[in-house]
Amino acid sequence: MKDSMKFQATYPSQQTGVVRGATLLLLLLAVVFSGEAASAQAGFTGIFGGGPFYKNAANNITEIENSGFTEAIVWSVEVNSVGDLNFNGEFPLTSNGVYIGEQTHADFASNMAILKQGKVKRVTFSIGSSNFGDWQDITALVKSQGTGPTSILYKDFQALKVAIPALDALDFDDENSFDSPTTVAFAVMLGKLGYHVMPDPFDNSSYWTNLVSQINAQLPGTVDGVHLQAYAGGSGNSPCVGWNFGSVPVEPGLWDLNDSPSQVQSIMSGWHSQCGIPGGFMWLYDDFVGSGLAAQYANAINNAVSSSGFTLSGPKNVFLNQSSTAAALITITDFGGFNGTVTLSLSSLPKGVQAVVQGQGNKQKVCSKLAPPHAQDSLLSPLPALLAASHKRLLSLWL
């Protein structure tokens, strides 16, 4: 997320107001923000990838490191019945609770660290997939051994953390098990080991929202984001409808086989405007390794979620008759996750015009009166000619 916020002023017309027999100065609105709530919560721009992250990976690591993606999600960790971990049935990670990854890919741990020398801020391993077995094995192991220091799952993920210090989070891609008690226990165990957890749902929203609530109730902050699949089985999902995790942000994902970079930016921009998504992800790096598309997709998501603020809209003019009053409704529309308080005030009014701002919230009125001896029929434009802001962040005015 960029540190600066963008402020967008939206008006039906940019025409200047007209006053019969007098010179009209446009109303000046001073926009004052309340508190630091104006900034949107930072999220991640993620990329899922499998073999390219560990097979002959040097060039691929460099590409992702510099692409603009801020989260690298290595997919997928398989869990067998005795608790040993591997990537995709071809890259053993642990055996009997001991890390053995260096035996197959000696540079893997160091490559995960190299990712963070660039723009990647989080390295995540994704557990499970549509394949049956991984989460069933986790459920069985938790039920039989628990999640304490002597359990195989504890030993596995502690060993990963020691061997790969760059590893930050685990993505939960459970598509067929859905055992809440054991999944909560597993997640809390991971949180205590220093991991963050990011669920990766495509359906069964009530299960996932309840799961996140239970995990964070036991160990607050463990789940700090959700990877929502909006492709394949999750096609048609919207992070703005039916996937409310409270304060935990939802970061939706799209598939390159369905959407080009420009389409991704358009879709993500719509979600960002509608419900303030702070990030998103792409599936699947394996499809476009070395093609230059990694940077294009990263830029598409980053551009889509880079702004937050509000728009102002109102009538293009208000007619003031002799000694009469008139009101202009100013509508404030938040976008991009903005949740600050906007206060409008007036200055530099035309001679003889009196005006006040009434109301609070997202609908406020500019009430004007043309008093004697200046009581001439007048057309006032309530559209601001200048918008100033008192806030610690830089605001860019779009006109």
d(CA 87, CA 352): 76
Kindly provide the b/e burial profile for residues 326-361, where b requires at least 16 CB atoms within 10 angstroms of the residue's own CB: bebebebebbbbbebebebebeebbebbebebeeee
Three-state secondary-structure class, residue 134:
helix
Instruction: Give the pLDDT of residue 360.
Output: 83
Based on the fold, state whether residues 100 and 153 are members of the same structural domain: yes
Residue by residue, DSSP assigns 30-82 as: EEEEESSTTSPPP--EEEEESGGGTSS-HHHHHHHHTTS-SEEEEEEEEE-TT
Instruction: Determine contact, residues 171/225, Cβ cutoff 8 Å.
Output: no
Low-confidence ranges of the chain (pLDDT < 50): 1-41, 375, 382-399
d(CA 263, CA 304): 11
Instruction: Give the pLDDT of residue 132.
Output: 87
Out of 304, 325, 358, a domain closes at 304
Three-state secondary-structure class, residue 18:
coil
Q: Identify the bridge partners of residue 281 per DSSP, sorted by sequence position.
A: 46, 253
Instruction: Give the pLDDT of residue 113.
Output: 98
Amino acid present at 126: S
Instruction: Give the pLDDT of residue 30.
Output: 41
Based on the fold, state whether residues 224 and 331 are members of the same structural domain: no
Based on the fold, state whether residues 203 and 344 are members of the same structural domain: no
Based on the fold, state whether residues 257 and 114 are members of the same structural domain: yes
Angle value at C-alpha 66, between 65 and 67, nearest 5 degrees? 100
Domain that holds residue 9: 5-38+309-398
Out of 282, 304, 326, a domain closes at 304
d(CA 83, CA 266): 42
Instruction: Give the pLDDT of residue 348.
Output: 66
Based on the fold, state whether residues 315 and 290 are members of the same structural domain: no
Based on the fold, state whether residues 17 and 74 are members of the same structural domain: no
Based on the fold, state whether residues 331 and 348 are members of the same structural domain: yes
Instruction: Give the pLDDT of residue 367.
Output: 84
> Over the stretch 164-204, which tens digit does the pLDDT of each residue have?
999 999 999 999 999 999 999 999 999 999 999 999 999 99
Based on the fold, state whether residues 78 and 51 are members of the same structural domain: yes
| Cis ω before 81 (30° cut-off from 0) | no
Instruction: Determine contact, residues 272/304, Cβ cutoff 8 Å.
Output: yes
| 8-state DSSP, 9 | -
Query: For the chain, what is the domain count?
Result: 2
Residue by residue, DSSP assigns 141-181 as: HHHHH-SSTTSHHHHHHHHHHHH-TTEEEEEE--SS---HH
| Other Cβ atoms within 10 Å of 96 Cβ, number | 12
Based on the fold, state whether residues 34 and 80 are members of the same structural domain: no
Based on the fold, state whether residues 119 and 155 are members of the same structural domain: yes
Out of 270, 304, 338, a domain closes at 304
Instruction: Give the pLDDT of residue 355.
Output: 84
Based on the fold, state whether residues 225 and 282 are members of the same structural domain: yes
Task: Provide the token pair at 78.
Answer: 């398989």
Q: CATH no. for residue 138? A: 3.20.20.80
| 8-state DSSP, 249 | -
Based on the fold, state whether residues 77 and 204 are members of the same structural domain: yes
